Amino acid sequence: MLEMRQVSLSFGASRVLDAIDFRVAPGERVGVLGSSGAGKSTLLRLAAGLLRASSGACINSYRHSLLVFQEPRLLPWRSIQDNIEIPLLAAGCSREQARARAGHWLERVDLAGVGKAWPGELSGGMAQRAALARAFAMQPDLLLLDEPFSALDPALRAALSKLCNECVKDTGAALLCISHHPHELVEMVDRCVLIAHGKLQSFDFESAMNGQTRAAAADSLHQTLLNQETIAP
């Protein structure tokens, strides 16, 4: 369980999160939306333990939380296979285990056959798939995605969101995912929170769908976001 109780976080005089209460239960998939600078990455970094709350309590009792960034962050001087194996070896896997797990996940993200390639030889989409394979190979029980596909073109972004969604479902990991694209996010998560002016607002798909499709819920979410950006606190 990830639980934030009355968490505030400020950078200097600027309060980014203001007394928020927030939970992600095991296996739950939660989306995070908000305008640029609203505090989405701050929320994820707090969950990952990279930032400390200025006040309140942030308790992350997941065994292994893993943050995937917007850029793949592969080691450029090591092969793709090595990039996946190195964190596994560091976590205590044997060489055989690491090799087998890396092979499995490379195949799962459609990169079987490129294990020996260098990161610089991969396209942006392939590199991000390798980053996903590296993340899933570590068997996280909480996956934190900080807009990992936003640098890709829309078709590739949709394909990778779908692949990532399938992998999350296969592993049963909990998911906390930032996106600027409500229509993709509704396919990936059970519920959403919107960040604005330091506060969280829950967005319930079921009531937004009102018997309609997820796309209709995404339209409603998109409209809520637009309103947030035009309405002062």
From the list 29-37, 87-95, 128-136, 168-176, the region that binds ligand ATP by CB under 6 A is 29-37
CB atoms < 10 A from the CB of 201, how many? 14
The answer to whether residue 36 forms part of the interface with ligand ATP (CB under 6 A) is yes
The answer to whether residue 16 forms part of the interface with ligand ATP (CB under 6 A) is yes
The answer to whether residue 38 forms part of the interface with ligand ATP (CB under 6 A) is yes
Choosing from 11, 55, 59, 112, the residue that interacts with ligand ATP (CB under 6 A) is 11
Alpha helices (runs of H) in the chain, residue ranges in sequence order: 40-47, 80-90, 95-108, 124-137, 154-171, 182-188, 205-209, 214-230
The answer to whether 189 and 175 have CB atoms below 8 angstroms apart is yes
CB of 113 to ligand ATP, least distance (A): 34
Choosing from 24, 30, 31, 42, the residue that interacts with ligand ATP (CB under 6 A) is 42
The answer to whether residue 39 forms part of the interface with ligand ATP (CB under 6 A) is yes
Strand pairing report for 55-60 and 2-11: antiparallel
Q: C-alpha angle with apex 42: 146 to 133, nearest 5 degrees?
A: 25
Size of the site for ligand ATP (CB under 6 A): 10
**Closest to ligand ATP by CB, 39 or 125:** 39
Count of all residues that appear for the chain in the document: 233
Sequence-ordered list of residues with C-beta below 8 angstroms from that of 165, at least 6 positions apart, any chain: 187, 188
The answer to whether residue 148 forms part of the interface with ligand ATP (CB under 6 A) is no
CB of 119 to ligand ATP, least distance (A): 24
Choosing from 1, 21, 23, 37, the residue that interacts with ligand ATP (CB under 6 A) is 37
Roughly what angle, to the nearest 10 degrees, separates helices 95-108 and 124-137? 130
Q: In the structure encoding, which two tokens stand for residue 137, read together?
A: 């190979």
Return d(Cα 142, Cα 121) in angstroms, integer. Answer: 30
**Closest to ligand ATP by CB, 34 or 125:** 34
CB of 147 to ligand ATP, least distance (A): 7
Choosing from 7, 31, 41, 194, the residue that interacts with ligand ATP (CB under 6 A) is 41
Q: Interface residues with ligand ATP (CB under 6 A)?
A: 11, 16, 34, 36-42
